[in-house]
Amino acid sequence: MLEVESLTTRYGSISALRDVGLSVGAGEVVCLIGPNGAGKTTLLSTISGLLNPVSGSIRLENEEITSWSPDRILRSGLALVPEHRRIFGDLTVDENLLVGGVTVASARRLELKEEVISLFPVLGEKLATEAGYLSGGEAQQLAIGRALMSEPKILLMDEPALGLAPVLAEVVFELIDQLRQNGQTLLVVEQNARRILEVADRGYVMRSGNIVISGDSDELISRDDLFETYIGKTDSNHD
Amino acid sequence: MSKELLQSRLITLIGPISIFAVLVLGGLLYASFGGSARDGLITQMLINAIIVLGIQIYVGNTGVLSFGHIGFGAIAGYAFAICAISPTRKNSQIPDAPFGLSEVDLTPFQSVLISILLTVIVAFIIGLGLARSGARSGSVAATVITLALLFVVHEVAKNWIDLTRGGKTGLSFSPLGNVTLQGRGWIYIALLLAMITARLFKETRLGRLAQAAREDDLAARAVGIDPAVQQMVSLLLSVTIVSIGSSLRVFELGSINPRLFFFKFTLLTLTMLIVGGRNSVTGAIVGVVIITAGSEFTRYLAGPSVDMAALDWILRSGLTDIFLGASMLGFMIFKPAGLLGDWELDNWLKKFIPKKETEEREQSRVGKDQIRDLQSLKVEGVVVDFGGFRALDKAEIRATTDEVVGLIGPNGAGKTTLLNVITGVVESNEGALTVNGKSIEGLQPHMIARAGLVRTFQNLRLFHLLSVRENIEVARLASPDAKTRLGTDTIEQLLHLTGLNDLSNRRARELDYGNARRLELARAAAANPLFLLLDEPTSGMSDHESEAMIHQVRSVASLIGAGVVVIDHDLNFITGICDRVYVLDQGRIISTGSPEEISRDEKVRVAYLGGS
Amino acid sequence: MTELIQQIVDGLGRGGIYALIALGIAVIFGVMHLVNFAHGELITVSAYSAYGLFQAGWDWWLIAPAVILIAGMTSVVIEFLAFRWVRGAPDFTMLMTSFGIHFVVQALFVMYVSANFRQFPRPDWIFNTVKIAGISFEVFDVAVIFFTLLTLIATFWILQKTMFGISLRAAAEDFDAARLMGVRSDRIIRGAFALSGLLAGVAAVFWLMRSGQAGPTAGLTPMLKGVLAALIGGLGSLGGAVLGGVTLGLVEVMLISRLPEGLVGLTDGIVFLLIAFLFVFRPQGFISVRRAERV
């Protein structure tokens, strides 16, 4: 479904991604973990067209989408739930969902809205509320629901559980699990490595702009060096 | 002023003086081949140059786009005319002038002084308004206030007929206004004065602080600069020069009416400034010459002496206006910094002047014997709510000037928010912040910086157009304390410690990422903080670089005798540098201790990796 | 009392025109973060179009819709020729660019039409009065209020109910997020300029009916008032722009009727001073638009 090859991106003068490659197959849930500043968000931003890579290629269903504009990439079937959600706070929940479906025909848009509401009943109750007044958990559901409105072939999520209390974060993970069962292809960036690995099929671990480890979830979760990639080697100061 | 500084200022003067000489000689030469029309043109150009230099002082140094300077010019022009026109003429033109002004009889020189005084008073009031509106580079409210000033002055000039004789006729000195050559000597003096003032102001402490705030308002505040002060001084100085130029303009033309100082003249002067490069004094003059020549040429093309039927559709009146408008538009779209950017002739000339090796530098008073008493930073019970989201929940940290304290935690834990609260960028809902027992709550960011807390920025906020050295110098100049406590040799030491000495003349925006981070560190240190607050100093660095940073941060901190609070995600770095570490998760401190203790704490592992 | 009501209606009439101009400025500010000082040129273009169409023998009833369309198209053309190139540029550059356009358009008219003002007939009914509940009003004021309301209702309907309007508001709040949803930036910006131009066209019709002349600087005063109204309301806030426009109109009328004879000419001056004071105490206008700066 999604193939990324030797992608290099500069962000300002940082070389934020160095020769990154990954792939996501149809129906797969793949997660991307690693410490802050490893380049995960940069990678998702580059794939979805917000940043232009210096070199490398991104293919969606064998179509080269490198350096396309974000709206064109969305139209070809790749949606992103951005970091910090970025829902439109001045718009109502209803309008947020409609904007999410701006690329689909209007009749289909209304059907999709019903589908999303059945997936997130709380949004149905608050359709007329301005999204800025939603709680963190509701806002996250709206961000995901809004992205689903474009019927993406593959959905990218950037830290969907960020800033949520553990109970609400759990709701997000259950939701990811449910999307997986619906056959949705997903690429998820997440802090909570253990929890996301329980849900995902495969994972990639990034550090300093590189993918340093990759493998099946079961394999990754049992690796001892995982914590080290987060916080650096600690052995130099062992007493 | 030290001898060295005086010398460098004198060298700087070579620039404006040589440009002045070229301009005046060139003008005279050009005028000597033509009649009085050329003479008048050159005189006008020199006067326009004075006004443009005046505008440059404000717009160039602060980055605030002002449409009001020609409004100030109108005030000055009217004040000058009303003072300088003889009572006999006034009695026939404005017999009902208020305050007995029709009887006032002053020499042109006295009138200029009055006009400066009046305009500066108005500018001071406007300046207070600009400061309140939070003026900074490109800010809209400030531009609209200045635009409104231009209109108010125009309306008053048009409608206060008793004073100004209204818009139709205006005021005039003599029936024919034939005073062209009377003011030449004064024009030369004023022009030279304007050039020297504009050029030197760029190099003064206030000028540099203004430029720093122009480049990045927030970063400037973070090292202790209060942009409002710089902007006010720039404005008053700038308006003084504009007043002189405007008075001369009125004197030269022999009359004044409201249209003389309105939109057209604003367009002309701003285009001159922008084409040459608004940040450059040399550029301002280059712009004046180019635009004057261009305007004259288009006027000639559109005039009756050129007759080309095929081009009739373009060679017609209005061509000059198109030329001006298109120059402004074209430069904004294709070369917004203007022809010269911030290039100055004297900087270029300085390259040819051999440097003396034995330069005496002000010795820093920071020595081993001058280490400060132990000071403390306390952050207690800080709560911050963003909407319904609690970013910080009773967070607390303590630090003293003899230690390096780390603050770590997963993404979104609230580390940067805590730093923003400490530095006054974000307001807290609850909590206490004290430095040495003194509360710093509610202080403006620049006051907090002067109280001893200076930060760096995660997303790099350097003063891009300034050189590496200037970035550091500006921070040292920002607060009175820093200047007295740290000598100029501190700058060299900081450059050396951060490995930037070979790059010291590069512009900050040319630096690669690692060097930019190190410059953030050096700049913060030069502001003489009690505590350096570092936000992710190693992010984006290679492992090798971040290891070197451990030593760099430590040596910089001990050079200036400051404590360090550092946010980072790299435990390798944190372990190497910190004496104590706080772990923040979901807005709460979940663990404290030595780096070793932290790395063994199960709560920390859970916070990072999740699970239980 | 009667007088006060008349003044209020008069003020609403003026304010309505300002509101339409300000709304157009706010729409563009929303999507591009640009204060369009060239907005007044749409009124200049409208004025010359009206003049030209009069020469061709058209009547006001036909000229009005034509002028509105022409203003809308001009706005899109200006975006295509100039503003497109400075999207995302620093604020200083965008401010200066819009002024550059202002001057170029003005100069084009000086070059190809005339530097002098051209007169054209005002509709004969505009000075008629009508009695409502025993109080007489100018027909013109009533008409302006009616059509302004109609235009505002239509505009807010577009903004609230159509996909274009919703996308535009979304883009105004977070342009990148809107692009991630598939909103096309070219289309939305062009649409914003078209909408803004149409609004300016409606305002121009009323403005010209009252002034009855076309000149290269015809757009200067309406532009300035529109920008001020948008700022009073809080830049970027659409409702604030309307509120700002109406407030400005009311304040002007109140000042004109209360100032002593000799000072009426200074009305604009006094209004500007009042606004300058407002900025000193509330730089963000009546309604502040949240725009977080990330540190």
**Quick one: tokens of C55?**
């020469």
pLDDT of residue C131: 83
CB–CB of B608 and A232 under 8 A? no
pLDDT of residue A239: 33
Read off the pLDDT band of B369 (50, 70, 90).
very low
Q: What is the domain range of residue A216?
A: 2-85+153-234
Instruction: Please give, rounded to a whole number of angstroms, the shortest distance from the CA of A74 to a CA of chain C.
Output: 6
pLDDT, tens digit, for every residue of B437-458? Answer: 899 988 999 999 999 999 999 8
Q: How many domains does chain A have?
A: 1
Q: Sort out which chain C residues have CB atoms less than 8 A from B267's CB and list them.
A: 99, 103
Outline which parts of chain B fall under CATH 3.40.50.300.
369-609
Cα separation, C175 vs C172, whole angstroms: 6
Instruction: Please give, rounded to a whole number of angstroms, the shortest distance from the CA of B309 to a CA of chain C.
Output: 16
- Stretch 252-271 of chain B: residues touching chain C, C-beta under 8 Å: 263, 267, 270
Domain locations in chain C?
A: 2-281
CB–CB of C183 and A90 under 8 A? no
Rounded to an integer, the average pLDDT of A190-195 is 84
Q: Sort out which chain A residues have CB atoms less than 8 A from B516's CB and list them.
A: 13
pLDDT, tens digit, for every residue of B488-504? Answer: 888 999 999 999 999 99
CATH number at residue A167: 3.40.50.300
Read off the pLDDT band of A167 (50, 70, 90).
confident
Nearest to A191 among B408, B411, B573 (CB): B411
Please give the DSSP secondary-structure letter assigned to residue A130: B
CB A232 within 8 A of CB A36: no
Read off the pLDDT band of A238 (50, 70, 90).
very low
Instruction: Please give, rounded to a whole number of angstroms, the shortest distance from the CA of A158 to a CA of chain C.
Output: 13
- Residue B276's nearest CA partner among B322, B336, B234, B320 is B336
pLDDT at residue A165 greater than cutoff 50:
yes
Q: Can you list the residues of chain C whose pLDDT is less than 70?
A: 283-295
CB–CB of B610 and A165 under 8 A? no
DSSP E strands in C211-265: the ranges are 213-214
Neighbours of chain A (3+ CB pairs under 8 A): B, C
ipTM, 2 dp: 0.88
Strands ordered across the beta sheet of A63-64? A14-24, A2-11, A55-60, A63-64
A221 in a structural domain:
yes
A231 alpha-carbon distance from chain centroid: 23
Name C199's Cβ contacts closer than 8 Å, sequence gap at least 6.
C20, C21, C23, C24, C27, C151, C155
pLDDT of residue A234: 42
Domain C2-281, classified CATH 3.40.50, yes or no: no
pLDDT at residue A91 greater than cutoff 70:
yes
pLDDT, tens digit, for every residue of C50-105? Answer: 999 999 989 888 999 999 999 999 999 999 999 999 988 888 899 899 989 999 99
pLDDT, tens digit, for every residue of A118-144? Answer: 999 999 999 999 998 888 888 999 999
Residue length of chain A: 239
Long-range contacts of C78-86 (CB under 8 A, 24+ apart): C78/C38, C78/C41, C78/C105, C78/C193, C79/C189, C79/C190, C79/C193, C80/C190, C82/B329, C82/B333, C83/C32, C83/C34, C83/C36, C83/C193, C84/C189, C85/B333, C86/B332, C86/B333, C86/C34
pLDDT of residue C294: 40
- Residue B274's nearest CA partner among B55, B73, B127, B71 is B55
Place of tokens 């979760």: A221
Domain B369-609, classified CATH 3.40.50.300, yes or no: yes
Cα separation, B53 vs B51, whole angstroms: 5
A23 in a structural domain:
yes
Q: Sort out which chain B residues have CB atoms less than 8 A from C102's CB and list them.
A: 325
Instruction: Please give, rounded to a whole number of angstroms, the shortest distance from the CA of C231 to a CA of chain A.
Output: 19
pLDDT at residue A13 greater than cutoff 60:
no
CB B298 within 8 A of CB B320: yes
pLDDT averaged over every residue in chain C? 88
Q: Which residue of B has its CA nearest to A209?
A: B540
Instruction: Please give, rounded to a whole number of angstroms, the shortest distance from the CA of B415 to a CA of chain C.
Output: 12
The residue among B329, B426, B448, B520 with the most chain C CBs within 10 A of its CB, best to mutate, is B329
Q: Which residue of A has its CA nearest to C238?
A: A90
pLDDT at residue B206 greater than cutoff 70:
yes
CB–CB of A102 and C167 under 8 A? yes
B597 touches chain A (CB under 8 A): no
In DSSP terms, B16 is beta-bridged to none
CB B14 within 8 A of CB B351: no
pLDDT of residue C12: 93
Q: Sort out which chain A residues have CB atoms less than 8 A from C183's CB and list them.
A: 71, 99, 102
CB–CB of A35 and B412 under 8 A? no
pLDDT of residue B178: 46
The three-class DSSP label of residue B559 is: helix
Nearest to B389 among A136, A191, A194 (CB): A136
Instruction: Please give, rounded to a whole number of angstroms, the shortest distance from the CA of C202 to a CA of chain A.
Output: 27
Rounded to an integer, the average pLDDT of A46-62 is 92
